[in-house]
Structure 1
Amino acid sequence: MQTEFATRVFTLVDATDAAGFSKLFAPQGRMRFGNNEPMTGPGEIEAGVGGFFSTIKGLRHTVVREWHVGSDSVIEETVDYYRLAGDTVSIPAVTMWHVDETGLIDDFRVYFDLAPLFA
């Protein structure tokens, strides 16, 4: 069963709401997207995620499984990417995050192979 916080994360991402998503991060929160350099802070995360959203029509996450230990979460998902060309590509992914004592994300990582999206 998907947790309330995971639902919030993926609802914002699937709405391509970079500003809303970035508000889930602590001031020095970091996000690493694939093998790219980490982004630090809500402003940098909003710009980076927003830039990525501009390369697609949209996306939808389907959670397969979740694991939670204390303040750490690991989510296995399938992501449907709606490409600008009009077709859809589905990619398996794993997202991990840690929330600090205020409930904001201080470490967020997404692991997947985006090559099919841009092939």
Structure 2
Amino acid sequence: MKYTLVFMISLSSLIISGQKKQNREMIYSKSTVIKKQPSIEKILSAIDSKDPNKFAEFLSEDSVFKFGNFPEEVGKSAIFKAQTDFYNSIKDLKHKILRIWKDSTSTVVQMEVSYTRHDGSNITLPVTDVFVFDGNKITHTLIYMDINPLYNKGN
């Protein structure tokens, strides 16, 4: 009986220490795999630079980009072309963050975007962007905005 009790205590200690070690390894391996999301300020700075190459640095190879009612663009080259076309239609832009919501894989940003048209006139529009991440790369950019007032000369 005495030997059985010692054996059971030793066995349970071994199991518990093995579980602790396994948990530490799991936590360690997860923390080395998980990469920190880039800051929204850096992402918006890349967008505001009007240089599609800067934004592309944040994207996964098969990233999805959806701007309002426009067709979805998939992949860095398609997103690069869509951004280049858009940037060519305006003189300048600047995002102002109003509110941010985050979880482990997504960031939602409520903003105002001020645009300068080629004729020098300005307009500020509300927008909400959703960025979905896989590690430190954006897999989805979803832009909820009515862009029509930008191109309506009456505004």
**What TM-score, normalized to structure 1?**
0.93
Name the structure 1 match of 2:99: 65
Partner of 1:65, secondary structure, is strand
Name the structure 1 match of 2:125: 91
Listed one character per residue, the Cα deviations across residues 42-71 of structure 1 (whole Å, up to 9, x for unaligned) are 111111111100000010000000000111
1:114 equivalent to 2:147? Answer: yes
Partners of 2:57 and 2:79 in 1: CA distance? 9
**Which has the larger Rg?**
2
RMSD: 1.2
Runs of 4+ in 1 over 2 A off after TM superposition: none
Give 5+ residue unaligned stretches, structure 2. 1-36
Partner of 1:50, secondary structure, is helix
**What TM-score, normalized to structure 2?**
0.72
Name the structure 2 match of 1:34: 68
Partners of 1:98 and 1:21 in 2: CA distance? 14
Structure with more helix by fraction: 2
Question: Once the 2 structures are TM-superposed, how far is the Cα of residue 23 of structure 1 from its aligned partner?
Answer: 2.1
Name the structure 2 match of 1:54: 88
Partner of 1:59, secondary structure, is strand
Bigger relative contact order (CA 8 A; separation at least 6): 1
Give 5+ residue unaligned stretches, structure 1. none
Count of residue pairs brought into register by the alignment = 116
Percent identity over the alignment?
23
The equivalent position to 2:79 in structure 1, one of 26, 41, 45, is: 45
Name the structure 1 match of 2:109: 75
Partners of 2:125 and 2:150 in 1: CA distance? 8
Partner of 2:39, secondary structure, is helix
